[in-house]
Structure 1
Amino acid sequence: MKTAIVLALAGALLTMDVGAADQGWDGKKLYRYTNEHGVQVLDDVVPPRYVAGGYEVLTPSGRVLEVVAPELTGKELAEKQRREARLAADLQLLRRYNSIADIESARKRKLAIVQQDMAILRSNIASLNRQIQSEELAAARTERNGGTVSEELLERIESLREEVGVVNERLSLREKEAVAINSEFDQAASRYQEIAGK
């Protein structure tokens, strides 16, 4: 506690000293930048070619008013954007869930919807296969009795097979979606544990 008070008072004294040195300040600013030879230059303007390297704005007495950071290079900018995106994703994760149990609960709800759809699709496939089997049995009976299978019956069988193919594709997409959901929630749980553990 004492240390904090002493530091606060020292800071106040330093601020007062700097203010005293600038009491006669007329608003004029100087700029300090580094030139191409690595030498620091103090001038009343920053030449455009040095702006990207960053500079400082000072009073004539030398008090720093502002520090303009150097522009980031492509790699540095990409890294900064990656860090910012990660931070935004982490904040969103923390806002959305209060615990690992919340994440697991959300996973179960999302998977339940997909699994219900998958059960319906499997039931549809079974029903279509029964219809195909029934139509094929009818065609086989017709052939055994010496008759000719109608074009209409053959088209119906072909149409049912195509429908089975379409429903199988939809089922395959839902199965991939279930895998993606598990992966997404595994990552969320793992990251949440990392963040919450800090």
Structure 2
Amino acid sequence: MKIALALALTGALLTLDVGAADQGWDGKKLYRYTNEHGVQVLDDMVPPRYVAGGYEVMTPSGRVLEVVEPELSGKQLAEKERREAREEADLQLLKRYNSVADIESARKRKLAIVQQDMAILRSNISSLSRQIESEESVAARTQRNGGAVSPELLERIENLRKEVAVVSERLSLREKEALTINSEYDEAASRYQEIAGK
């Protein structure tokens, strides 16, 4: 009981002390900032040229009401944004995977889809190439026999070649995608080991 009463009295006295320091405070605020000579200045306003350097808002008795941090320079801001982006990426990585084995498993699944597409595209190129050979063989036979190759046949051959070019381009994109996937998952596994080991 005595301890509880003593604690209550101490709390009341502390409250009175804080209140006493600001008794009669009419809401006037002072600002403390550092000028170009490195000297702290207490004033009723912060000149615009010092705002970027940060300042404190205070009562006349010296109680700090608010601290306004200095603005970051372009380089500092870029570094802060880079650090925050890295922290967010790390957080997402830890949420997505429970281990490096999970990362490797995800890599295999993603690569399997791309490799399946690549196999289909290679098969299509092979099939189209056989069709071109067949049509060219017909055209060559016609010419050997002294005949003129029909424009329709020449057009078919040209269309098949264009199709091979389109499919080859798609295959090339998928091959690049496979390299990108491997690179991304290598980086994810490496980063996971770094942050999980901390």
Partners of 2:24 and 2:111 in 1: how far apart?
68
**Residue type matched to 1:149 in 2?**
V
Partners of 2:22 and 2:51 in 1: how far apart?
29
Q: How far has the Cα of 1:51 moved from its partner?
A: 1.1
Partners of 2:183 and 2:101 in 1: how far apart?
16
- 1:51 maps to 51
Matching of residues 28-43 of structure 1 within 5 Å: 28-43=28-43
- 1:117 alignment partner, SS class: helix
- 1:86 maps to 86
**Residue type matched to 1:24 in 2?**
Q
Provide TM-score, normalisation by structure 2.
0.85
- For the Cα contact (< 8 Å) 2:22–2:61, is it kept in 1? no
- 1:154 maps to 154
- 1:66 alignment partner, SS class: strand
Partners of 1:84 and 1:56 in 2: how far apart?
26
Partners of 1:24 and 1:49 in 2: how far apart?
33
Partners of 2:94 and 2:28 in 1: how far apart?
47
Partners of 2:64 and 2:24 in 1: how far apart?
13
- 2:32 alignment partner, SS class: strand
- 1:16 maps to 14
Q: How far has the Cα of 1:92 moved from its partner?
A: 1.3
Cα offsets for 1:72-118 (capped at 9, x unmatched): 11111111111111111111111111111111111111111111111
- 1:134 maps to 134
- For the Cα contact (< 8 Å) 2:32–2:57, is it kept in 1? yes
- 2:33 alignment partner, SS class: strand
- For the Cα contact (< 8 Å) 1:25–1:59, is it kept in 2? no
- 2:42 alignment partner, SS class: strand
**Residue type matched to 2:142 in 1?**
T
Which consecutive residues of structure 2, in runs of 5 or more, have no partner in the other structure? Answer: 1-9
**Residue type matched to 1:71 in 2?**
E
Provide TM-score, normalisation by structure 1.
0.85
The answer to whether structure 1 residue 111 and structure 2 residue 111 are counterparts is yes
Q: How far has the Cα of 1:69 moved from its partner?
A: 1.0
Range moving further from structure 2, 175-184 or 55-64 = 55-64
- For the Cα contact (< 8 Å) 2:55–2:68, is it kept in 1? yes
- 2:146 alignment partner, SS class: coil
- 1:38 alignment partner, SS class: coil
Aligned residue pairs, count:
187
- 1:189 maps to 189
Cα offsets for 1:32-52 (capped at 9, x unmatched): 111122211112222222111
How many percent of aligned residue pairs carry the same amino acid? 79
Partners of 2:102 and 2:109 in 1: how far apart?
11
- 2:41 alignment partner, SS class: strand
Which consecutive residues of structure 1, in runs of 5 or more, have no partner in the other structure? Answer: 1-11
